[in-house]
Structure 1
Amino acid sequence: MIGPARVARAALGDEWLEHLQSRVGIADARRRYSQRTVDMYRQRLHAHVLDRLGSRRVDQLAVEDVRLLVERLTRRGLAPSSVSSCVNILSGLLRYALKRKVVAHNVVRDLDRDDRPGAARLTEPRYLTAAELDRLFAEMTDTFRPVAMACAYTGLRVSEALGLRWRDVDLDADTLDVTGQLGNAGERLATTKTQASAATVRVLPALRRELKAHRSRQAARNIALVGPDALVFTTTSGKPQSRRNALRAIHAAGDAAGLNGEGVERVGMHDLRHSLVAIALEQGLTAPEVALLARHANARVTMTVYAGLTRDGREQAAGKLTEGGFGA
């Protein structure tokens, strides 16, 4: 017979998180979890899920408890996508409980579609033109401009850019190797978001010039900062930069460049990756070619996630229709 301690929400939740933690970095991509995903599950499970389920044990939960969870999180002001994530996390916990024979059924599966939170973005991604990117970079300091340019000109995610070591950068061959990323606690993880994310990418001339200047500045400060195992982007004391500070720098630069305003989502770090893909599509690269740039497993993912274009691209596309007589 399973004791109450095993059925208690917090105890079972911690056991599930330990199970997920054991899969971080394993070779099997299908079963592997990233450290960031596990950290996010841990934070949301304890901050938004377990404490919102009342005093019920896991084996006593009913679909009505899940409906109340959705309502409580919505009243707290969480975005629909965050509420949906919390429901999915609860479902993952219950799937684990089902395998361990702690519960007989995953009650999340009984939730009607109408009761499920929407997962759509509240705002559209930003797709900057090449000229807008130049304006953005012009407003940035030496600290985070190289980070932003690395994301914009290679499609790196900010965690991947901040996880670069100098041994990963070959400015003679104009390449850099994506072999890891920076974790939430500032530690470098030797794993990437997906198997396809680990790749060698091309360094464009503008980025090569920026990285050379950045390396010279780092070497002048302390030669150890450009050692093979040193992170490319660090604070003045050599510690890893944070995603939060990088985002603050992008927000401030976007404000100064006149790219942000009322009713417009502020430019963020991930919008630089969006912009690279949109510009590549505008310039006539095929979907498989753009998928290689974005390091997606296949072109279908690229076209699903990055279906948008920059404002100039949309205007050009509409112009081509009218030039061809459509809608005249």
Structure 2
Amino acid sequence: MMSRRYQDGCLYREKRKAGPDVWVFRYRDGQHNRKQQLGTVDHLPTKSEALRACQQLRSNINREVRSTRTFGELADHYTAHELPKKTPYYGEVCEWYLKAWIRPKWEGLSLSDVKAVAVESWLGSINLAPGTKAKMRNLMHAIYQHAMRWEFANSNPISLVRQSAKRTRVPEVLTVSEIEALLAQLGEPWRTAVYVALTTGLRVSELLALKWEDVDFGAAEIRLSRGVVRQHIGNMKTEASRRPLPLDEGLAEVLIRWRGCCPYNQDGDYIFASPDRKGTQPYWPTAGMEDHIRPAAQRAGIQKRVGWHMLRHTFGTLIKSQGADVATTQALLRHANVSITMDRYVQAVTPAKREAQSRIVKVLPFPKCSHAADGRGCNC
């Protein structure tokens, strides 16, 4: 809690022994309670009129204390008032950035002493990925926007801070031969999970949140309505993420095969439900990657660091390599920054998207065995 927080104050009517009642505005100045008379009820007959009369007084009071407010106090206020409105994962990430990087540098400075050039220079000196530095810049910008909303500050110096999020190197992707080698080393359910990720481009939060009811085998579509992050079920990342995906015949066969032998195969069950939680929650993505997928990649002789987002990049690269146009690739990846034409006219699964996905399924044949739920494989 901030020691010099924004003063909404308290307006009340006070009786007097002689003369008309008066309106009094009570507020806190540092460690002291203060009060100031606004006028009598003769001049301000209603509370609404008294509230309007104290607006300027309230602004003056807050203006006097905000010049001495520190960035650390503002960060506390932002954490208390704004982060609870965000997803739990987002809140955890913001608090980590504040604790590990932002607070140690800026916590003790007054709001007016945080300058754009200084912040930009500081970001340039940190040995972190551009994307990470851009997120820290954006968090500081959000904190100052919060300050302006609460009238702690008149301007946002972070608006002038330049920080690119552009990657310094091209992300690694898997080749078709590497994918085949990886799938051959995987047991279920991770073999099917990786295959679905590679043929749909789903984010891991979307992949593990899938339920059987989301797969419409008749319409040949996968409908997306939720995401899961750290076992918290929430909304999709963007509105564009809600667009349905095509379900190629070959991919449908893989899912039907998995449904036939997985322990949780009812419509309301997660496709990749964790037996440790008796199917009530999906698997943890980190457990699958660290305990199963990366060890399988090592056994397959893959030297690249395999990760969930790498599978999504691989999907995008394969789609483009199979001749899909840019618009179709963007639509399949469901990025929010697609063109207006795509936003307005490509809302459902189109023939172009079906064809693009089908080409990927054809070049990535699914192994013919090892889809038992215990991960040890089977001879089917």
**TM-score, scaled relative to structure 2:** 0.63
Deviations 1:79-109 (Å, cap 9, x if unpaired)? 3332232122112211221232212332224
Distance 2:239 2:205 in 1: 15
3-state DSSP class of the match of 2:271? coil
Which protein shows a greater Rg? 2
Q: Secondary structure at the match of 2:317?
A: helix
Partner residue of 1:247 out of 260, 275, 289: 289
**Secondary structure at the residue paired with 1:215?**
helix
Return the letter of the residue paired with 1:165: K
Distance in 2 (alpha carbons) for counterparts of 1:171 and 1:11: 54
Using the TM superposition, give the Cα deviation of residue 188 of structure 1 relative to its aligned residue in structure 2, in angstroms: 1.6
Query: In the alignment, which residue of structure 1 is the partner of 2:55?
Result: none
| Equivalent of 2:314 in 258, 266, 275 | 275
User: What is the DSSP-based 3-state SS (H/G/I as helix, E as strand, rest coil) of the residue aligned with 1:226?
Assistant: coil
| Structure 2 CA distance for partners of 1:205 and 1:258, relative to 1, 3 Å | farther
Does residue 101 (structure 1) correspond to residue 151 (structure 2)? The answer is yes
Deviation at 1:124, TM superposition (A): 1.9
What is the deviation of 1:150? 1.4
290 and 70 in structure 1: CA distance in 2 versus 1, 3 angstrom threshold: closer
Structure 1 runs not aligned, ≥5 long: 25-33, 220-224, 302-328
User: Hey, what's the Cα distance between the residues in 2 that align with 1:15 and 1:150?
Assistant: 43
The corresponding residue for 2:251 is 207
> Which residue is equivalent to 1:40?
93
Q: CA deviation at 1:157?
A: 0.6
CA distance in structure 1 between the aligned counterparts of 2:217 and 2:251, rounded to whole angstroms = 10
Distance 2:313 2:160 in 1: 36
Task: Choose the corresponding residue for 1:13, options 68, 72, 75.
Answer: 75
**Distance between the aligned counterparts of 1:143 and 1:85, measured in 2?**
34
2-structure distance, mates of 1:81, 1:296: 17
Contact 2:71 2:106 in 1 (8 A): no
Q: Alpha-carbon deviations, 1:18-73, whole Å to 9, x = none?
A: 43653x5xxxxxxxxx665454333323332123324224344334652574367x
Provide the rounded CA distance (Å) in 2 between the counterparts of 1:180 and 1:283. 29
Alignment of 1:86 onto 2:149 = no
In the other structure, the counterpart of 1:259 is: 302
User: RMSD over aligned Cα, in angstroms?
Assistant: 3.0
SS of the counterpart of 2:108?
coil
C-alpha distance in 2 between matches for 1:214 and 1:62: 57
| 1:289 matched to 2:318 | no
Query: Contact 1:157–1:273 at 8 Å: present in 2 too?
Result: yes
Alignment of 1:198 with 2:242, yes or no, is yes
- The 5 A counterparts of 1:171-250 are 171-183=217-229, 185-189=230-234, 191-219=235-263, 225-237=264-276, 238=279, 239-248=281-290, 249-250=292-293
1:45–1:90: 8 Å Cα contact kept in structure 2? Answer: no
Aligned residues: 273
Write out aligned runs for 1:158-173 (5 A).
Answer: 158-173=204-219
Deviation (angstroms), 1:176: 1.5
Residues 9 and 230 of structure 1, relative CA distance in 2, 3 Å threshold: farther
User: Would you say the 8 A contact 1:180–1:192 is kept in 2?
Assistant: yes
**How far apart are the structure 1 equivalents of 2:271 and 2:213?**
9
Q: Which residue of 1 aligns with 2:24?
A: none
Tell whether the 8 Å contact from 1:155 to 1:273 is kept in structure 2 after alignment: yes
What is the CA distance between 1:15 and its match in structure 2?
4.0
Gaps of 5+ in 2: 1-60, 341-380
Which among 151, 163, 180 is matched to residue 197 of structure 2? 151
How far has the Cα of 1:198 moved from its partner?
A: 0.4
Q: Tell me how far apart the structure 2 counterparts of residues 14 and 165 of structure 1 sit (CA, whole Å).
A: 39
Shift in alpha-carbon separation, 1:98–1:154, aligned structure 2, 3 A = same
Amino acid at match of 2:204: V
2:250 and 2:300 map into 1 onto residues whose CA distance is 20
Q: Deviation per CA, 1:201-231, whole angstroms, max 9, x where unpaired?
A: 1223443233223223323xxxxx3333322
| Separation in 1, partners of 2:73, 2:196 | 42
* Per-residue CA distance 1:252-302 (angstroms, 9 max, x = gap): 232222221xxxx4122122222222222222222222222212346569x
Identity %: 24
- What are the superposed Cα offsets for residues 99-158 of structure 1, whole Å, 9 maximum, x if unpaired? 3221233222454x5xx5x53324422233333322221121203122211111111111
Alpha-carbon distance in structure 1 between the residues aligned to 2:218 and 2:172: 33
Residues 16-35 of structure 1 mapped to structure 2, 5 A cutoff: 16-17=78-79, 18-19=81-82, 21-22=84-85
Cα separation, 1, equivalents of 2:184 and 2:267: 29
**How far apart are the structure 2 equivalents of 1:163 and 1:198?**
13
